[in-house]
Structures are given as structure tokens and as C-alpha cells.
Amino acid sequence: MNRRHPERIKTVAILGGGPAASTLATLLARAGLTVAIWHQPKHAPLIVGESLVPAIVPLLQKLGIEEEVRAFSTFKPGATFNLSDDVNFSFFFHQLTGATATYAYNVPRDRFDETLLTNAQRAGARVIEARAAVERVAGTDRVQLTRETLAKANGFLADSPDLLVDATGRARLLPNLLAIPSREGGRKDTALFAHVDRAQLDHTGHVHTTRLDHGWSWRIPLPGRVSLGMVIGAEHLPQFGATKEARYDNLLKQDSVLSAVASDAQRLTPVMEYVNYQLVSARMVGDGWALLGDTAGFIDPVFSSGLFLGMQGAWLLAEAIRDGSPAAFQRYQHEATHHLETWHEIVDYFYSGRLFTCFKVGQKLRNTLLVRLAFPHINKHLGRIFSGAASTAPYSVGLLRFAMKYGLKDEDPGALRIR
């Protein structure tokens, strides 16, 4: 990052209009900066990230939109994990001591994104409904909006902005332009998801994460429907058909678990497909630019923490922009990288079977004196996984790592691994 005086960052262009972009725009506009959002409305019928975690609720409150979100969402009191015929765990947020909130919401993403974007406009940000084109300044690490793109602001920005933020998500406009390397996770899964009219739920409002014959599935209750997705290794998909629609519909009928919980489900929407759920950019800040949200990195959706990380990242980046110093931007990069890498580690514990094998051992020993005494402490810290705030608490992560190393007893984690 070049050595800017804090007073120099007065104008910011944000590329992308998702939740992280809108959150950042709101915070900066409230702080008196001139903020323009280049946003081309999405035409995809569905977007991943419909289930929020409790840690996101305080952010909605600070943005002043919780009541609006509540009005069109499904109340989410907890999360349920179905791992085998006899291994199931349900976590009720009001029982998670130390949580920042004791509930969350399952949200229709189109209305959620629209609410955040409208909130940014109310704060003073200008939304420009056009595709942004960016070019590299020859011989430098700088980038700039093209003259044609800047002209679309119709004078709202008199000149090139002091800072350009890429929040284009998986399009990753600046990383592709600047050839920024990234670290990918070891798994190469494909997610297929759609909305169905109904599916079996163990607890009203809970997001259900279910281990399948191959991979895993989510069931997210939404108003009038259920979001049902499958995350499966690409090598297993051809046996279920040649198209994403055929694969989705056949999996509902042929997977032994899905056929039991959604045997009568009728698909209401097209099928969406996403691939590769783990990535961290090697650089997130540079000379006059920064990466935010999924552009900076993204994680597997299993614990529903992606939206929280993106919006939390907006808060961290807003602090760095207001400070304006190189050190502040490096702190942002360090924090954003830390949160992503910590969640990648937690996701690996899920896929390997270690996480819930540890919980299974805890259930077996729950009547012993030591476990009874330690339970409130363990519940507080390991519960941060399900509240979404795990990566913000170093001690909680340390306790998790200790449990993953020493808490399995003689149980084989392979019995609960994701195949």
C-alpha cells in the first residue's frame, strides 16, 4: 500500500453490490466519504448464503436493518447435524453461553441483498447500475477505472477515486487483472442447489446439515419453501445424469438419505451449480486498491459463516480506510486472512469426521464428573463454531485444536467423515 495520509482517502469506488460491498458503502458514507457502487444486478435465481449465523445479528443491528430483515425471513433458533442413523446433534442458540446473539435468520437472498443495498443508498452512497471496467496502470501495482466507466458516474466522482475496492465475489476482477495468486483448499466439490416445496425437518427453523451417501446436504427453511443443496465430489456426479438438473433430481430420489427426508419434494426453481469452496488470496491490499468478501477469499458453506465473514470484513476494511495508513491496511489483510484460514481448518475437521466424533465422545462421557464440570466452559467456546464467531476468539480456537487432537479417545473419525 502506498503511503497515503489519512486525509487523502475521501472517495471510494466499490465494484459489486453484494452484502459485503453494501455494508462497506454504508459505513464509509456514514463517515462522510464519497462512495460509488458499481453494481450490475444479478440475474441468477438463487445465491448461496441463505442461512445467517447469530454473530451477524449485531451487525444487522448496527446497520439499522434487523427489523426489516426479520419481516421477510424465517426465524432460526438453532442448527441440526444429521450424521448417521444414530448420530445426530442439535444446537439451540439460546443454550450457547457467551454468544453475541441467541438467534439468527434464514433469508431470501434477493431481498436480503436489496435491503443492504438500499440501506447504503440511504446513507449517501451512489449506486451505478453498470458493469465496471478496470485497467492496470502500466509498470505499477495500481489500477484505475476506465474513462468510460468513470463517465457512467455522471459527475458523482469528478476524478479517479482515491481507493478502489473489488467486491465482485467469484468474478475476482482485480486478482485476475493483477495475477494475484491464491491458496486453494484440498477439496474439489460441486454444490447443486434449488428451492423445493417441502422437506422433513427435525426442528422448526433449524438449518439442517446432513451426511449423504457421498458428500453432504443442507436444508434451510425459508418462507413457503426449503432451500435444499448438495455438496458432492465431482467424481460422483456423472452417475446421476449429464445435466445439473438431472443430477439434482436423481440425487433426491437415489441418495438413501435424501430419499428419506425429501422423497415427496417438488423442485420450485432452476438448479444452481457452484464449484471449489475454499480459496484465500495471497494479497488483499495494494497501491490504491483492496479486496473484500468472496474476492478476498471464500469458504465451504457448511457452517453458514461466509456472509458473516464478508460483512465483518467490511467493518475491518472501513476501519483501515478511515485510518488510511499502510499499517492499517496490513492489519486488515492479516485479520481477513486469519479468519478465512481458521474457518478452513474448522471445515476440515468436519470433513474428516473429527469434529463430530469429538462431540460423540462428549455425549458418551457426559455423566462423568469431569465432563459435567467442564461442560459449561466447553459449550461456551466450541459453541462459537455454530454461532459463527469461532475465528474471532483465539482461546476458543485453541481449545478446539486441543479437542481435535486429544478428545477422540478410541473412536475412529473415519466413521463420520464425509465420503
Q: pLDDT tens digit string along 59-112?
A: 999 999 999 999 999 999 999 999 999 999 999 998 886 667 999 999 999 999
The overall average pLDDT reported for the chain is 92
Query: Are 307 and 52 a contacting pair, CB within 8 Å?
Result: yes
Q: Which three cell numbers stand for residue 304?
A: 453458514
User: What was the pLDDT predicted at 392?
Assistant: 86
pLDDT digits (tens, 9 = 90+) for 140-179: 999 999 999 999 999 999 889 999 999 999 899 999 999 9
DSSP label of 353: T
Residue whose C-alpha is closest to residue 94's, from 79, 84, 82, 83:
79
Which structural domains are found in the chain, ordered by start? 6-73+108-183+278-345 (3.50.50.60), 189-275 (3.30.9.100), 353-416 (no CATH)
Please check the confidence at residue 3 and state whether its pLDDT lies above 60.
no
Per-residue burial over 125-164, b = 16 or more CB atoms within 10 Å of its CB, e = otherwise: bbbbeeebebeeeeeeebbbbeeebbebbeeebeebbbbb
Please check the confidence at residue 393 and state whether its pLDDT lies above 90.
no
Who's near 47: CB < 8 A, 6+ residues apart?
109, 110, 113, 272
The Cα–Cα gap between 131 and 144 comes to 14
User: What was the pLDDT predicted at 1?
Assistant: 45
Between 373 and 271, residue with greater pLDDT: 271
The Cα–Cα gap between 35 and 47 comes to 25
pLDDT digits (tens, 9 = 90+) for 256-296: 999 999 988 999 999 999 987 789 999 999 999 999 999 99
What DSSP letter does each residue of 368-397 carry, written as one string? SHHHHHHHHHHHHHHTHHHHT-GGG-HHHH
Q: Which three cell numbers stand for residue 286?
A: 495494494
Cβ neighbours around 356 below 10 Å, total: 22
Query: Are 165 and 175 a contacting pair, CB within 8 Å?
Result: no
Task: Give the mean model confidence (pLDDT) for residues 209-215.
Answer: 96
Report the SS3 class of residue 294. Answer: helix
- Assessment of whether the complete model's pTM goes beyond 0.85: yes
pLDDT class for 372, splitting at 50, 70, 90? low
Query: Are 62 and 153 a contacting pair, CB within 8 Å?
Result: no
User: What was the pLDDT predicted at 2?
Assistant: 44
Query: Are 331 and 320 a contacting pair, CB within 8 Å?
Result: yes
Q: For the chain, how many residues are written?
A: 419
User: What was the pLDDT predicted at 96?
Assistant: 80
User: What was the pLDDT predicted at 371?
Assistant: 59
pLDDT digits (tens, 9 = 90+) for 119-133: 999 999 999 999 999
Residue whose C-alpha is closest to residue 382's, from 364, 362, 396:
396
Between 277 and 1, residue with greater pLDDT: 277
Query: Are 152 and 128 a contacting pair, CB within 8 Å?
Result: yes
Q: Which three cell numbers stand for residue 189?
A: 466439490
Q: Report percent pLDDT > 90 for the chain.
A: 77
User: What was the pLDDT predicted at 375?
Assistant: 65
